[in-house]
A and B are shown apart, each in its own frame.
Chain A
Amino acid sequence: MTFTGWLTIVLFALILTALAWPLGRYMAKVYTGERVILTPLFAWPERMLYRVLRVDPKREQDWKAYAKSLIVFSLAGWLVLYLILRTQDAFWVPHALNPLGYHSAPWNVTFNITSSFMTNTNWQYYSGETTMSYLSQMIGLTVQNWLSAGVGIVVAVALVRGIVGRTGKSLGNFWEDMVRTILYVLAPLSVLVALVLASQGVIANLSNSLIVHTITGLTQTIAMGPVASQHSIMLLGTNGGGFFNTNSAHPFENPTQFTNFFEMLAVLVIPAALVFMYGRMAGNRRQGYAIYATMMIMFLGAVCVAYIAEAHGSPAQHAAGLHTGVIHGSGGGNMEGKEQRFGIAGSALFDVVTTVTSCGAVNSAIESFTGIGGAVPFANLSASEVIFGGVGTGLYSILLYVLLAVFIGGLMVGRTPEWLGKKLEAREIKLAGLGILITPLAALFCTALATASSAGRKSISEVALSKAGSNTPQGFSETFYAYLSQANNNGSAFAGYTGFIQPNAGSHGSHGITFADLLGGFDMMFARYAPILFALAVAGALAGKRVTPAGLGTMRTDNGTFVVLLIGVIVLVGALTFFPALLLGPIVQGLTGHLY
């Protein structure tokens, strides 16, 4: 561990807060229809979009209508993306946009990819530079990066409206929210981030691969592509699907020490801003600050554990006789699967940033993290991504936890629980409880199915199998992480786990592992849309409630006591659900120096 490492972590938290606060204020204005700085620029395109889409933004929707629009829109997106990916080598695709003549991936892999990008998961069994044409990356994957991010954000906005709303059943209008999210929030940020990244060395071209003749007489082929535009929205929308196989570890996606820091800010800025937005829309900024504090405390805790564990080095390194401490000119630590320019702190921090959110981009191989370092992303996912979380998903998930915490707090003091002046009753608590438990249920069910069946074990990487060919804790970790990550719509991976065998570039002679492809695809869709429906139902249930002024006996939800209670509830639910499974994988590895 180094001083600059700790400094990076502290400065990151400070700069993030400084950026998210004004953005939260801006977003609160966007969703309450107030005039913002970009209104003169976007008012006309906004009106035109409504006209082309044939929507009347003034038409208010209750939760069922809102949910229906959302589901239909997502289904249409799914179908179109599937068709685009399956016709990658069709005659109408110009050669310039598929210069390497890549065939489509098989149907089962495409099913997984499509479900993955539609649900903001961006789990990738395929490897970008050897599977996808430039056109597929652009009109297929990039588009869903935008839309799935938008869907997440509008659900959070709708839930907030339900919680604070005082005017009947309406949650707003889905189409208006989508259009405003894309125009006023995602578009300006995405263009800005893309250009900053391109100026720092993230590539942006449509060239054919480079053929290099090295100075020692070898040849090297370097994959190219329109990376900056896709990379920028995949960070901001907490999507996480890399243009290249090694994602943000690839020097063309994350070229320098500076871009690494900048990219981490891009991932967290919208999820963090949404929390401040909630406080403003609730008419009490302290409500937002309390949730922000909850998230930040848990976030920093996770970062510290990951950094210390990775700086300590791995049992395999020590068994080989390596010294893993800091020496003059080298940061030391577990550098297996990490890049020199990021170092240990930059890798550990990035790892936590992208696993507390639903981003799942990686700048280092999580599979190669030490047992305890690797347990951190597990823990982040086990907390159902409420520590900032994905764009929108983080806020609506933690608001369900807030509801639960208010309920539990109410039981402890023996009063009817109230939240922002609204009485919480059986219906809301039931819906919130289901919304919270459905993701862990999907993750554990799929993991059990995959570990117990021989079809599931086919996906475990050779490296994770011991010499005798039996399963190891690493093999279990791979499997568990795969379905946990897909259920949480995260998309990061213990990347040895595979659902796609691709012997050659361009999908020649490739085939999918149907079991892993389908199970993962259903896992992602179920665990995405079921909680969304529960969140919207909670919003609907709360929207119509009468507001009573807070009395002396009302439990406050904006002070330190509540922050502690909320952390307690999150940790308890996560730990009770996942502890047995975590023990079998990463914790066993973290507690032993034994090699398998």
Chain B
Amino acid sequence: MKRDIVTSIIGIVLFTVLLGLVYPLAITGISQVAFPGNANGQQIHLNGQLVGSKLIGQNFGTPVLEKNGKPKEVKGAVVTEADPRYFQGRPSATEGGANNAAASTFSNHGPNSVKTREANEENIKAYLELNRPYDPGLTVARIPVDAVNSSASGLDPEISQANAWIQAYRVAAVRHILRGIVDRLISKYTSGRGLGFSGEPGVNVLELNLALDRERKILVIK
């Protein structure tokens, strides 16, 4: 018994040092040297400023202002409305406002819950209001599910291609650029299936939006 206790204590201390300090620090160190971009979250800078991570979904909305000119807040989270010039990501159920990457949260909406239906209906309404003026044939049944179902992490950086194609009508019209250019950018920023079969293709919303901003003005049509 005494023997077991002594060995256990030495063992825990030793393994804590080896597996809790040496191992994670070694992996972190090697990754920092070998894959610095990936190990630090694939940060994207624009004009020297950090504008996001390729992997973390963002809210492409603008703050809703109160009458006094201050941003409106509900429960400490800034209320936003979608910016029609940009592609919009998937609905996010994170606490403290959408796409809160400091505290990822599941939506935990049950399959038979009235609240799930209501959340879906609310997202459908917003999606139709935003896109139907530019795509008159858009109906509830045509909306891809990913556009109105909240993502698991609340930080999904991607949307389905079908979702992007519908939003492309709006983005092209608001930006006065050719639909063909938007489509070309969509396919450029679509990730393929892993090993050719795993998962679903997805369009990276942040990269797509940044690329749209970069499009030269020459391509603008009046």
Q: List A residues at the B interface (Cβ < 8 Å).
A: 4, 7-8, 11, 49, 52-55, 68-69, 72-73, 75-77, 80, 127, 129-130, 138-140, 142-143, 146-147, 175, 178, 182, 187, 190-191, 194-195, 198-207, 209-218, 220-224, 226, 228-230, 232, 244-246, 249-252, 255-261, 313-317, 319-324, 327-343, 345-347, 362-365, 367-371, 373-374, 461, 463-464, 466-467, 472-474, 494-496, 505, 589, 592-596
Contacts and interface: CB of A to CB of B under 8 A. Distances in A.
Interface in B85-135: 86, 90, 99-117, 120-121, 124
A291 to B, nearest CB: 28
Contacts of A496: 108, 110
A204 B38 CA distance: 8
B148 A340 contact: no
13 contacts: A77-B8, A198-B34, A213-B51, A214-B58, A256-B191, A313-B145, A320-B148, A323-B143, A340-B151, A346-B199, A365-B107, A463-B109, A473-B112
Given A330-B161, A338-B152, A320 B24 contact: no
B185 interface: no
Contacts of A80: 12-13, 16
Interface in B20-38: 20-21, 23-25, 27-28, 30-32, 34-35, 38
B172 interface: no
Contacts of A464: 108, 110, 113
Contact of B116 (A139, A213, A226, A314): A314
Contact of A199 (B34, B107, B164): B34
B74 interface: no
Contacts of A250: 104, 153, 155
B144 A327 contact: yes
Given A175-B7, A205-B32, A221 B112 contact: no
Contacts of A255: 55
B14 interface: yes
B111 A315 contact: yes
A142 B17 CA distance: 11
Contact of B56 (A55, A142, A222): A222
**Residue picked from B141, B159, B199, most chain A C-beta under 10 Å:** B199
A49 B145 CA distance: 55
B1 interface: yes
**Residue picked from B149, B158, B200, most chain A C-beta under 10 Å:** B200
A153 B99 CA distance: 39
Contacts of B20: 138-140, 142-143
Contact of A330 (B41, B103, B105, B145): B145
B152 A364 contact: yes
B5 A72 contact: yes
A497 to B, nearest CB: 9
Contacts of B198: 8, 257-258, 260-261, 346
A315 B43 CA distance: 39
Contacts of A593: 112
B173 to A, nearest CB: 19
A330 B154 CA distance: 19
A224 B41 contact: yes
Contact of A365 (B53, B100, B106, B120): B106
B83 interface: yes
B73 to A, nearest CB: 13
Contacts of A332: 144-145
A463 B160 contact: no
B24 A211 contact: no
B40 A205 contact: yes
Given A209-B102, A210-B43, A346-B198, A204 B111 contact: no
B191 A52 contact: no
Contact of A249 (B4, B51, B106): B106
Nearest to A230: B24
7 closest pairs, A vs B, by CB? A257-B199, A258-B194, A329-B162, A343-B200, A257-B194, A139-B20, A329-B161
Contacts of A217: 62-63
Given A142-B23, A200-B38, A217-B63, A339 B145 contact: no
Contacts of B53: 210, 212, 222
A464 to B, nearest CB: 6
Contacts of B153: 244, 246, 249-251, 339
A474 B112 contact: yes
Interface string B191-202: 111110111101
B55 A245 contact: no
B131 to A, nearest CB: 15
A341 B36 CA distance: 23
